[in-house]
Amino acid sequence: MDRMIDFESVHISEDIRDAFFDQLHRIAEKDARVMLLTADMSAFSLERYKRELPQQYVNVGIAEQNLINIAAGLAKMGKKVFVYGIAPFVTMRCYEQIKIVTEMNLDIHIIGAGAGLSYGSDGYTHHAVQDIGIMRLLRGLRIYNPSDSVSSAAAAYAAYYGHGPSYTRIDKGRFPLIHGSAVWERLIQKGVVSINEGTDVTLLSTGFMVQQALAITEALAAQSIQAGLIDVFQLNPLCAEELNSAIGNSKKLVTIEEHERAGGLGTMVSEWLVDQRRMTPLKRVAIDAQPQGYGDRPWLHQMLGLDTASLTRKIMEFLNVK
């Protein structure tokens, strides 16, 4: 891969959104074709982008369908267009427009802020828990779901250098780093990264839930259960060969996601197991109900059984461990 920026020289900021936009800013400085369009969105690092690259930035306003239409026109003129909005609005509200973009294979890269339940108490309207299921149906659309600032910065790079349109769902806030800078190239080229290995069970997760899954492996280790963990950074297309290599001879698999059960990571892995004719037992842990009430993310996780304690218990039951 030709690289305009040396991975080792990239500074990874703490906020997962700023990591993406800092990297996009570096790219846009070197490539005047890059345009960033927003649906009246903000992020700390966007202020510098707007100030230093005003000719490569447009605030379309809260009009997501028009956002995609304008992006399509710019892409037809040879621009590499990034569009930024709240995840459920920039996917579901303008799905028809995105469908046309993918059929035309335009160089448009959608950035959805607020993956999963990250908007917490803003309520169900702002929760992105069906987006993976609908977006993976669109032919040729790459989907990235970073779990920390390193993988978020990698997503900007992967979107820019990849062929055709993409969708990156980004969380909000600051999280512990999972990946070191040396993992950049593997994230971009392979899409699947093994964080640790285990002989009893392998957990597969994506996005914020990789943070949860890492804590679960530690809780399981305290019960003498060796659990491996795989970060599925690229959800579509699922990197089957890399996934097969990462899973190896795992006895059992568990998918953990902050998404509706239908259409998400668990569905993808199920399909992959069938296609590979693998008989490895699989447990899918996902959202199975709409939260009754409003609260922050930890509260929602408790209501939905996605907190660390509930997830650990479910996995131990799956392993027949009391």
The tokens of 16 are what? 């997962």
Q: What pLDDT is stored for residue 281 in this prediction?
A: 96
Same fold, 11-170 and 191-318: yes
pLDDT per position as a tens digit, 148-200 = 999 999 999 999 999 899 999 999 888 898 988 778 778 888 899 999 988 89
Fold of 11-170: Rossmann fold (3.40.50)
- Cis previous bond, 237, omega within 30: yes
DSSP-assigned beta bridge partners for residue 116: 128
Distance separating alpha carbons of residues 142 and 239, to the nearest angstrom: 11
If residue 247 lies in a helix (H) or strand (E), which one and from where to where? helix 240-247
Long-range CB contact pairs, 51-58, < 8 A, 24+: 52/25, 53/25, 53/28, 53/29, 56/28, 56/32
Distance separating alpha carbons of residues 40 and 180, to the nearest angstrom: 33
pLDDT per position as a tens digit, 58-101 = 999 999 999 999 999 999 999 999 999 999 999 999 999 999 99
CATH architecture designation of domain 191-318? 3-Layer(aba) Sandwich (3.40)
Domain extent listing, the chain: 11-170, 191-318
Contacts (Cβ under 8 Å, ≥6 apart) of 41: 84, 85, 86, 113
